[in-house]
């Protein structure tokens, strides 16, 4: 076996050691401003939360250089001293019993995972992938990554995989939550650019939430709404009477997946009544006349019939939009996870543009992101766009990035990777033979996951790089690479309002687990492309490269001096160019009405609404909706289920919400075990009879492992995001 250079051996030996050691190695890393140059034992430091995209600032209280507790940071501009239960409990999963503490290799004979050292694991990893590449070509290996690791790691992974190892196909679990917003913004605004700042929650006099339940999904954003002193009108468009709908002024309980139709109906009323901002449209947009012509053909009675919302209510909502001085539109997964999601998101954007509700305080067409670093993934993961929101297909962009990274331009692919669903299809077709999964739990979270698990079993080599050994995906792995989690490593996240926030190491990873960053460095070495990544020596060194990659892009943050600068300021939103000063740390985009398209005009984009591919019928007569359960649960629960405190805050077992009308028809009472089936499979759940769902619909919370056995593999045409929100189901006692 090849002898390793001393610096690599040191990297392995060093693992994610005590924080004090790191700080001595890098004095001043967190220095300047609020944080002392060297953390002393029993000190306090600040870092951004690692669950959702709100990006709250937390204070880590340290003893001997390690965090023993957390509290909400009162000075951070995002959360102003508030945190949801997940944030308060964020340290607990780090101490879970099922942490991956050493590399594990499956013994083919016994089927058991057995411990192996890092050197053996990484040599095997590289040899197996090289062997598969030699036999089947560079398109035979793929990775699926995450919106949960720091931007520097995402960028490293994408660059290593594509430019160093010479592979092509990769995607991220952000495909499941934010791909629609990414594509919608890119097409409408010319760049993936959520335009708002959280101050807009406080400055609107009308807030419209479409398929969004911030009360539990983004509770701290909802607290910002609660701080709005303008007595705003809050409108919720959602098939369920969610916690947010209950708190709203007006709730439109639309029929599942009639959102696009309803939004066009509102646009038609606004045009017909002349309630549009002609001067804004003429000066700052294009293709409005085509949109207006399209709307002429729309029948409002059909809109009412399809959506289940009366014409009177539609007119009432249109009037509220017209009379609002500062109207903001917000959407989340109810929009993004649909069969015509991109056009639905753009229908919301169209409403903001045609009424001139953008670029001013309290306005905007605002997509609320899901995961803590989904925005980092969208711009810097090197998956669907080249670093910094550049385009793989553009020779000019490839030249810029090749020069910056000091690599051959030919190392940069000229085409996009396959999206997630195509990668799964590629496995089924036998084209993809090896898959590397980093910090995501596909076997829980992907649609129709029994089908996905069958596909994974066909792989020649499945590698899972994760904090835990017990996720549904890790249980299928041939090789597990143990990774440090949030709080055990350094880097940055980008939150929903484009704020780059700092994440720090405040705890030591267990066993010989390493940060994803160090794992990527080691893989570069064992693969033989280490010298190509010699400048990728630390997260902050990569941050410097990413600053340069962003230069002259809309997301330009080349003016951020250092990690310490971020720390001092409470995070900084992009853009922040080299000549910028931070007079205001809550900034929105498009104040000047100039968008990122070639002619600086935003585009009206639209399409004829179509029915979902699967709708209720005689065999499966109900709509099945799925979504978030409580603010104490996070996605596939690999972390939140580890906290005794959080577990007390949500139901232990899977439940299904059933309307009283359907419950009576089927003889169901709350507490009864019932069977829920779709064309993909069945599960049992405890019935919860409630009017939160309308007659004809049932709801399952997404966090329980069996739920995605039922969901359907249908995808939006433009974003390839799965449609989790509606399929046909049956309920039986």
Q: Residue numbers of the site for ligand SF4 (CB under 6 A)? A: 49, 51-52, 54-56, 79, 83-84, 86-87, 219-220
CB closer to ligand SF4, 400 vs 628? 628
* Shortest distance (Å) from residue 83 CB to ligand SF4: 4
* Shortest distance (Å) from residue 242 CB to ligand SF4: 17
CA separation for the pair 246, 223 (Å, rounded): 15
CB closer to ligand SF4, 635 vs 709? 635
* Shortest distance (Å) from residue 54 CB to ligand SF4: 4
CB closer to ligand SF4, 51 vs 557? 51
- Identify whether the C-beta of residue 620 lies closer than 8 Å to the C-beta of residue 718: no
Eight-class DSSP state of 533: G
Extract the runs of DSSP E, i.e. beta strands, from 404-526.
434-438, 461-466, 479-482, 491-494, 499-503
* Shortest distance (Å) from residue 495 CB to ligand SF4: 8
* Shortest distance (Å) from residue 366 CB to ligand SF4: 16
Spell 531-553 as b/e; 16+ CB within 10 A means b: ebbeebebbbebbebbbbbbbeb
Rounded (10°) angle between helices 516-527 and 118-136: 60
- Identify whether the C-beta of residue 646 lies closer than 8 Å to the C-beta of residue 637: no
* Shortest distance (Å) from residue 584 CB to ligand SF4: 22
Extract the runs of DSSP E, i.e. beta strands, from 211-337.
233-237, 250-252, 285-286, 327-331
* Shortest distance (Å) from residue 57 CB to ligand SF4: 9
* Shortest distance (Å) from residue 138 CB to ligand SF4: 38
CB closer to ligand SF4, 55 vs 194? 55
* Shortest distance (Å) from residue 154 CB to ligand SF4: 18
CB closer to ligand SF4, 128 vs 628? 628
CA separation for the pair 78, 86 (Å, rounded): 16
Residue nearest to ligand SF4 (CB): 87
Helices (H), 516-628: 516-527, 539-550, 563-569
CB closer to ligand SF4, 177 vs 424? 177
* Shortest distance (Å) from residue 185 CB to ligand SF4: 22
- CB neighbours of 108 closer than 8 A, spacing ≥ 6? none
CB closer to ligand SF4, 222 vs 596? 222
CB closer to ligand SF4, 79 vs 342? 79
Structure tokens at 346: 């753009």
* Shortest distance (Å) from residue 650 CB to ligand SF4: 14
Rounded (10°) angle between helices 311-323 and 300-307: 100
CA separation for the pair 495, 353 (Å, rounded): 24
CB closer to ligand SF4, 87 vs 195? 87
CB closer to ligand SF4, 56 vs 170? 56
* Shortest distance (Å) from residue 600 CB to ligand SF4: 34
CB closer to ligand SF4, 181 vs 223? 223
Provide the sign of the torsion angle of the four alpha carbons 320, 322, 326, 330, taken in this order: positive
CB closer to ligand SF4, 85 vs 265? 85
- Identify whether the C-beta of residue 139 lies closer than 8 Å to the C-beta of residue 169: yes
CA separation for the pair 522, 722 (Å, rounded): 34
* Shortest distance (Å) from residue 631 CB to ligand SF4: 7
CA separation for the pair 520, 532 (Å, rounded): 13
* Shortest distance (Å) from residue 507 CB to ligand SF4: 16
CB closer to ligand SF4, 65 vs 485? 485
- CB neighbours of 558 closer than 8 A, spacing ≥ 6? 547, 548, 550, 551, 576, 577, 578
Neighbouring-strand partners of residue 234: 207
CA separation for the pair 723, 339 (Å, rounded): 5
* Shortest distance (Å) from residue 445 CB to ligand SF4: 17
CB closer to ligand SF4, 54 vs 363? 54
Residue 584 class from Cβ within 10 Å (0-12 exposed, 13-18 middle, 19+ buried)? exposed
Eight-class DSSP state of 616: -
- Identify whether the C-beta of residue 167 lies closer than 8 Å to the C-beta of residue 136: no
- Identify whether the C-beta of residue 439 lies closer than 8 Å to the C-beta of residue 416: no
Structure tokens at 732: 């039986």
Question: Containing H/E element for 223?
Answer: helix 219-226
CB closer to ligand SF4, 96 vs 250? 96
Cα-flanking dihedrals φ and ψ of residue 502, to 5°?
Answer: -100, 135
- CB neighbours of 642 closer than 8 A, spacing ≥ 6? 92, 93, 96, 98
């Amino acid at each position: 076996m090849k002898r390793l250079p001393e610096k690599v051996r040191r990297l392995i030996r060093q693992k994610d050691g005590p924080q004090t050691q790191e700080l001595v190695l890098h004095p001043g890393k967190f220095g300047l401003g609020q944080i002392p140059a060297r953390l002393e034992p029993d000190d306090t430091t600040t870092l951004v939360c690692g669950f959702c995209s709100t990006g709250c600032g937390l204070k880590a209280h340290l003893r001997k250089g390690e965090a023993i507790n957390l509290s909400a940071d009162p000075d951070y501009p995002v959360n102003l001293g508030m945190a949801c239960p997940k944030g308060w409990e964020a340290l607990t999963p780090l101490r879970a019993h099922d942490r991956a503490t050493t590399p594990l290799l499956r013994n083919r004979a016994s089927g058991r995972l057995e411990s192996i050292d890092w050197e053996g694991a990484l040599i095997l990893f590289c040899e197996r992938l090289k062997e598969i590449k030699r036999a089947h070509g560079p398109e035979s290996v793929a990775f699926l990554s995450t919106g949960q690791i720091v931007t520097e790691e995402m960028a490293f992974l994408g660059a290593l995989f594509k430019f160093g190892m010479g592979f092509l196909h990769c995607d991220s679990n952000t495909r499941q939550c934010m791909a629609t917003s990414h594509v919608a913004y890119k097409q409408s605004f010319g760049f993936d650019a959520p335009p708002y700042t959280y101050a807009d929650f406080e400055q609107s006099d009308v807030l419209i939430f479409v398929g969004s339940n911030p009360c539990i999904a983004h509770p701290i954003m909802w607290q910002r709404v609660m701080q709005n002193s303008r007595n705003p009108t809050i409108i919720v468009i959602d098939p369920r009477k969610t916690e947010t709908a209950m708190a709203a002024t007006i709730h439109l309980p639309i029929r599942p997946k009639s959102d696009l139709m309803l939004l066009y109906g509102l646009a038609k009323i606004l045009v017909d009544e002349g309630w549009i901002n002609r001067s804004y449209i003429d000066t700052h947009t294009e293709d409005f006349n085509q949109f207006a012509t399209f709307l002429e053909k729309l029948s409002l009675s059909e809109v009412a019939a399809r959506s289940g919302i009366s014409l009177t209510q539609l007119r009432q909502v249109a009037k509220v939009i017209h009379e609002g001085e500062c109207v903001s539109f917000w959407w989340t997964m109810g929009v993004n996870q649909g069969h015509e999601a991109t056009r639905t998101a753009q229908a919301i954007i169209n409403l903001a543009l045609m009424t001139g509700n953008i670029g001013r305080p309290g306005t905007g067409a605002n997509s609320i992101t899901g995961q803590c670093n989904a925005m980092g993934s969208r711009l810097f993961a090197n998956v669907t766009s080249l670093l910094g929101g550049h385009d793989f297909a553009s020779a000019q962009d490839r030249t810029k990035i090749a020069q910056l990274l000091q690599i051959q331009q030919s190392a940069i692919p000229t085409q996009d990777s396959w999206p997630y669903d195509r990668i799964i299809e590629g496995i089924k077709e036998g084209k993809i033979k090896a898959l590397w999964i980093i910090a995501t739990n596909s076997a829980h979270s992907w649609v129709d996951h029994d089908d996905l698990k069958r596909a994974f079993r066909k792989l020649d080599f499945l590698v899972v790089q994760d904090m835990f050994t017990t996720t549904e995906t890790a249980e299928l792995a041939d090789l597990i690479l143990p990774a440090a989690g949030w709080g055990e490593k350094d880097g940055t996240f980008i939150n929903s309002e484009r704020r780059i926030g700092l994440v720090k190491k405040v705890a030591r990873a267990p066993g010989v687990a390493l940060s994803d960053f160090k794992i990527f460095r080691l893989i570069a070495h064992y693969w033989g492309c280490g010298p190509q990544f010699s400048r990728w020596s630390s997260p902050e060194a990569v941050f410097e490269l990413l600053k340069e990659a962003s230069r002259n892009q809309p997301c330009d943050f080349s003016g951020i001096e250092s990690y310490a600068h971020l720390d001092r300021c409470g995070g900084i939103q992009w853009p922040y160019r080299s000549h910028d000063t931070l007079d205001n740390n809550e900034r929105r985009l498009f104040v000047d009405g100039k968008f990122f398209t070639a002619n600086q005009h935003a585009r009206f984009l639209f399409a004829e609404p179509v029915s979902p591919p699967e709708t209720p019928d005689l065999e499966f007569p109900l709509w099945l909706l799925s979504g978030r359960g409580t603010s104490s649960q996070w996605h596939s629960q690999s972390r939140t289920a580890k906290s005794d405190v959080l577990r007390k805050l949500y139901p232990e077992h899977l439940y299904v919400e059933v309307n009283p009308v359907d419950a009576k028809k089927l003889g169901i009472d709350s507490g009864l075990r019932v069977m829920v089936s779709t064309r993909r499979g069945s599960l049992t759940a405890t019935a919860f009879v409630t009017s939160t769902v309308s007659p004809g619909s049932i709801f399952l919370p997404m966090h329980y492992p069996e739920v995605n056995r039922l969901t359907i593999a249908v995808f939006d045409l433009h974003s390839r995001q799965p449609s989790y929100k509606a399929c046909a189901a049956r309920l039986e006692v």
